[in-house]
């Protein structure tokens, strides 16, 4: 009887140990799956930021910039800290025709000037002696605006390029001039905004404790090319982090999205 009791206790302990190990493994698997889902969310956030930038640039030039690759994200839990995601952001490659955006700007300014002069000619009383000259000036402006743009190349050579009209009749005046001067900065701003929103709105499944941090480190994934002396690839990393308590407050409705955005700490290195 005693022997049977000992065997029964041993089996119960073994089964309990096995069940406990299985439950622990299941918890770890689910945690890893949640992190994997967030990896995909952050990858899509980078793609959304890039798409926002590319749509704006299409309003300026028919040849859009391209990305050097696809975003890649790796996440893991850090004991007593929280969850960390490493985000590789593909670089923005401008087309070789990008300098011609100034020609597009000049041609459209000429179109606008010709239209204003024609309106002025109709609405005002211009001496008949000058009407023909006035009309000739307008026609010359219109012909120049509709013709090909010229770009002076190396050694004084002149290259002529026909610029395609904007799809949908969009005008450059609707594009932020800062985007034209520095599209890479515009790309960075769009990706930053998309990553912050993804951290706030899509991190609920991670089940962070109130004092834990959700951290995202976004960095360029294109190193300097040693074979190209002119390559000036700039290594930069932007680190975003927000506390679990702030994320919980947003999900509970105690913080608006804008207020939650203000809770995200942003550091650049």
Total domains present in the chain: 2
Q: Are residues 92 and 186 in the same domain?
A: yes
In whole angstroms, give the CA distance from residue 213 to residue 210: 8
Q: Are residues 190 and 64 in the same domain?
A: yes
Q: CA dihedral defined by 201, 207, 211, 212, rounded to 10 degrees?
A: -80
Mean predicted lDDT score pLDDT of the chain:
76
Segments forming the whole domain that contains residue 119: 99-174
So what's the pLDDT on residue 99?
63
Q: Which pLDDT tens digit goes with each residue over 107-152?
A: 556 566 667 677 766 666 666 666 777 677 777 666 665 655 444 3
Q: Are residues 58 and 118 in the same domain?
A: no
Q: Is residue 243 part of a domain?
A: yes
Q: Are residues 70 and 113 in the same domain?
A: no
Q: Which pLDDT tens digit goes with each residue over 161-178?
A: 444 444 444 444 456 667
This prediction has a pTM of 0.65
Question: Strand, coil or helix: what is 153?
Answer: coil
User: Checking DSSP bridges between strand 82-89 and strand 72-78, what pairing results, if any?
Assistant: antiparallel
Q: Looking at 174, 197, 232, which one is the last position of a domain?
A: 174
Q: Are residues 192 and 74 in the same domain?
A: yes
| pLDDT above 90 for 190 | yes
Q: Looking at 120, 145, 174, which one is the last position of a domain?
A: 174
Instruction: For residue 243, list its beta bridge partners.
Output: 213
Write down the number of H helices and E strands in the chain: 7, 9
User: Checking DSSP bridges between strand 82-89 and strand 213-220, what pairing results, if any?
Assistant: parallel
Q: Are residues 250 and 138 in the same domain?
A: no
Q: How long is the chain? A: 269
Q: Are residues 113 and 68 in the same domain?
A: no
Q: Are residues 136 and 201 in the same domain?
A: no
In whole angstroms, give the CA distance from residue 212 to residue 208: 6
Q: Looking at 118, 146, 174, which one is the last position of a domain?
A: 174
Q: Are residues 214 and 263 in the same domain?
A: yes
Please give the backbone phi and psi of residue 158, each rounded to the nearest 5 degrees, phi first.
-105, 120
Q: Are residues 85 and 180 in the same domain?
A: yes
Q: Are residues 73 and 162 in the same domain?
A: no
Please give the backbone phi and psi of residue 65, each rounded to the nearest 5 degrees, phi first.
-60, 165
Tell me the HSE value of 151 on the side-chain side, using a 13 A CA sphere: 14
Q: Are residues 185 and 251 in the same domain?
A: yes
């Amino acid at each position: 009887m005693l022997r049977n009791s000992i065997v029964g206790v041993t089996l119960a302990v073994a089964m309990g140990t096995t069940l406990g190990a299985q439950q622990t493994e299941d918890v770890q698997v689910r945690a890893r799956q949640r992190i994997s889902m967030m990896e995909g969310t952050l990858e899509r956030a980078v793609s959304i930021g890039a798409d926002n930038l590319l749509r704006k640039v299409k309003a300026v030039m028919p040849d859009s910039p391209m990305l050097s690759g696809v975003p890649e994200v790796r996440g893991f839990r850090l004991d007593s800290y929280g969850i960390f995601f490493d985000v590789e952001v593909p670089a923005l490659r401008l087309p070789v025709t990008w300098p011609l955006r100034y020609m597009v700007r000049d041609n459209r300014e000429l179109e606008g000037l010709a239209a204003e002069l024609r309106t002025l000619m109709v609405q005002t009383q211009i001496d008949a002696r000058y009407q023909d000259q006035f009309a000739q000036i307008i026609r010359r402006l219109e012909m120049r605006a509709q013709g090909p743009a010229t770009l002076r190349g190396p050694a004084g050579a002149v290259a002529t390029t026909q610029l395609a009209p904007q799809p949908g009749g969009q005008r450059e005046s609707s594009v932020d001039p800062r985007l034209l001067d520095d599209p890479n900065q515009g790309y960075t701003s769009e990706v930053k905004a998309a990553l912050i929103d993804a951290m706030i709105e899509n991190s609920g499944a991670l089940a962070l404790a109130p004092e834990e941090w959700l951290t995202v480190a976004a960095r360029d994934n294109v190193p300097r090319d040693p074979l190209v002396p002119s390559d000036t690839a700039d290594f930069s990393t932007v680190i975003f982090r927000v506390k679990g308590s702030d994320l919980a407050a947003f999900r509970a409705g105690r913080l608006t999205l804008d207020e939650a955005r203000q809770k995200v700490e942003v550091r650049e290195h």
